[in-house]
Amino acid sequence: MRKGHIRVAGTAGTALVLTVAAVTAVLTASADMAAAATTTFSPVADTYVQQDTATTNYGTATQFVNDNSPVRRSFLRFTVSGISSPITSVKLRIKTTSSSDAGSAAGGVFKAMSNTTWSETGTTWNNQPAIDGVTIVTLGSVSANTWYEINVTSVVTGNGTFSFGSSSANTDGAYYDSRESGADSPQLVVTTGTTPSPSPSTSAPSGDPVLVGAGDIASDGSGDTATAALLDGISGTVFTTGDNVYDSGTTTEFNSYYAPTWGRHKARTRPAPGNHDYVTSGASGYFGYFGTQAGTSGVGYYSYDLGNWHVVSLNSNVSMSAGSAQETWLRSDLAASTKPCTLAYWHHPLFTSGANHAPETATRPLYQALYDYNADVVVFGHNHQYERFAPMNPAGTLDNARGLRSFVAGMGGADFYGFGTIQANSQARNSDTFGVLKFTLHANGYDWQFVPQAGKTYSDSGTGTCH
């Protein structure tokens, strides 16, 4: 692998059933996309029943409820159609309207059901269908206004109609948005794949440089152990997209949590800082641990070259406004580069569907500068999940001619976050698999690959060309 210079900046429940129809376009594979595709189905019917109002139908309610005082059960049914490739995962996504106290099954016990012909407007307590299938998940306490994802891959195996029921033995039940709520309606997200992803080889077959990494990494959990093990088998330069250690970015935390796992790859790591790194004043733990590999101490943005690629690590924890020191440096840095391809990474995402952190619009001037200089790829962190977007301009509009393909790579080891409203041009998502994002940097293009932790099967891969 050829390495060039490093350019640094100076210091200046109840049971629930729902019927759904496909409402988003199927993302088909192409030469510039991964072989995986995601289809989202939305409910076309839902209802719940209540014991003390045994003849009342709630099919037009904006909520469905799991409770034991009074006893209420909810019913969900989904109709899946148009799926022609093998299914790799299916997620049922539901959004709470209120919280429930901690306790056994407060959020509901969700099961599959054999009855798929019940009536949304005719089902009551007296004629409710049986919740007679296998238990899929038991949700404990839930928070208000939060999306929850339930893995139903074992139930939804192809085209057809699928019913789910939920109930709760807890007297402090859970309320969820129904299809009548609009944008917060439940979703069934079906992911398919037509070809196996390439294996995480120790080097690129072409001999081209490899850049691999993730963000939101080390804590007292085991996720970073799993992802560090992946790095053990992948040669190349390691990047991070911030929040390198939790919770406060102290020197002690870096030595206790980061050093034993990702720290064994420190010599080949080119990091970026996150907001948790800045909980310690001036991110002194971060700069002290990484030293010159993190650029000028206290600044946090710098660049380097890998083969035909110019790579830029930026700092979304300091000013990014047009005319700021960082934005001015970035434009000068890009203007000075002689490389035909450019990749950048930082912590706070401009584009994300994550429920925990909204898009950070303050980063747009950085994205604009990259767009103005025909950059190709940008990678974020912050939301603890994986997401890939189609090439977009700074306004978030699809732009296959000049747009940057962006990734959220926050699956480095910290506890997972769920997804909220799925943003335009989102093409692949996962929130239950730790992993690393591997780029093979060719002379005029690149391959990307999500490499999952051992024992997991989620994959996403594809190719792109430089502008």
- Ordered domains of the chain (ranges, CATH): 17-193 (no CATH), 201-465 (3.60.21.10)
| Banded pLDDT at 30 (limits 50, 70, 90) | very low
Q: What's the pLDDT at 394?
A: 98
Which residue has better confidence, 135 or 183?
135
User: What is the CA angle 67-73-77, rounded to 5?
Assistant: 135
Query: Residue 426: helix, strand or coil by DSSP?
Result: strand
pTM greater than the 0.75 cutoff? no
Find out whether 233 and 454 touch, Cβ atoms under 8 Å. no
Closest CA to 351 of 412, 302, 419: 419
Q: Express each pLDDT in 143-171 by its tens digit.
A: 788 888 788 888 998 999 999 999 988 88
Phi-psi region of 395 (alpha: psi -120 to 50; beta: other; left: phi over 0): alpha
Q: What's the pLDDT at 145?
A: 80
Q: Express each pLDDT in 417-435 by its tens digit.
A: 999 999 999 999 999 999 9
Q: Please classify residue 323 by burial: count the beta carbons closer than 10 Å to its beta carbon, then call 0-12 exposed, 13-18 middle and 19+ buried.
A: exposed
Q: What's the pLDDT at 16?
A: 45
Closest CA to 300 of 286, 281, 279: 286
Q: Express each pLDDT in 94-147 by its tens digit.
A: 988 876 655 555 788 999 999 999 999 999 999 999 999 888 888 777 778 888
Mean pLDDT of 236-241: 97
Query: Residue 162: helix, strand or coil by DSSP?
Result: strand
Q: What's the pLDDT at 9?
A: 57
Find out whether 115 and 129 touch, Cβ atoms under 8 Å. yes
Residue 242 has pLDDT above 60, yes or no: yes
* Most distant pair of Cα atoms in the chain: their distance: 75
Look at the block and give the residue holding tokens 């970073």. 224
Residue 18 has pLDDT above 60, yes or no: no
| Cα 152 from Cα 449, distance rounded (Å) | 25
| Cα 138 from Cα 31, distance rounded (Å) | 41
